[in-house]
Homo-oligomer: A and B are copies of this chain.
Amino acid sequence: MQLGIIGGTGTEGRGIAMRLAAAGVPVILGSRSLDRAASAVAAILASAGTLPIEAATNGDAIERADVVVLSVPFECVGAVLDAHRFRFRQASLVIDVTVPLVFAGGTPSLAPVAEGSAAEFVRARLAGAVRLAATFKTIPASTLGRLDAPLDCDEFVCGDSIEARDAAVALLARIPTLRPLDAGGLDAARTLERMTALAITLNKRYKARAARFRVVGLPPL
């Protein structure tokens, strides 16, 4: 399996690249600029040691990947998908990790999205043969990037099909100290994206930086 990350130079993209590469997944870290992708990869390797991460343009990353993580700021998602719509492989899996956060006076909330959530916005702009899951919505980006710190939490996965969810769950299950949970259909992203804002609110309220979620009461999975 080859994983590509679109918008891989941001904090979230780098963190996902590091966690998955450290779990043995080959990662292509994409950026609009190949130079910036290469700099980000060099910085990751300098800090984390040898990991299977290489740099590419976003377009190349999409064309070469079986699984494409969409990790650009939400306000760029539409333009990125428009530009690269025909580069996705037929049966590829897209993983949306975007959250349409806005801050008013320091308080986070969600920008209204006509489709109901960022994930549903993405679904409406992908070819039908491309499957879509949404995850990595509720773990802080900075926490993902600290490879030495265990995640010790759950991460929710939703998707447009059982196949998409199972594939994303299996991918996340490769990351030690993280338990992926199948949260159902893509409209569950409406909940997960709100939970991002909730976690940020809790961080501010309790002077923390890494609030994230664990579900209590499930049997051993």
User: Which positions in A face B, CB cutoff 8 Å?
Assistant: 107, 109, 140, 143, 152-153, 156, 181-185, 187-188, 190-192, 194-195, 197-199, 201-202, 205-219, 221
Contact = CB atoms under 8 A, between A and B. Distances in A.
A218 B191 contact: no
27 contacts: A107-B185, A143-B217, A152-B216, A153-B216, A156-B198, A181-B202, A181-B206, A183-B198, A183-B201, A183-B202, A188-B198, A191-B191, A191-B195, A191-B197, A191-B198, A202-B215, A206-B221, A207-B219, A208-B218, A208-B219, A210-B216, A210-B217, A211-B216, A211-B217, A211-B218, A212-B216, A213-B214
* A-side interface mostly: mixed
Given A107-B184, A202-B183, A214 B211 contact: no
A197 B158 CA distance: 14
A220 to B, nearest CB: 10
Given A217-B210, A218-B206, A191 B194 contact: yes
A129 to B, nearest CB: 25
| Copies of the polypeptide in the assembly | 2
A206 B219 contact: yes
B212 A217 contact: yes
A46 to B, nearest CB: 27
Given A188-B198, A195-B195, A211-B216, 10 more contacts: A107-B185, A182-B205, A183-B198, A184-B201, A202-B215, A208-B217, A211-B215, A212-B217, A213-B213, A213-B214
Q: Which 4 A-B pairs have the closest CB atoms?
A: A210-B217, A191-B194, A214-B214, A153-B216
Nearest to A210: B217
A181 B206 CA distance: 9
A140 B208 CA distance: 27
Nearest to A205: B182
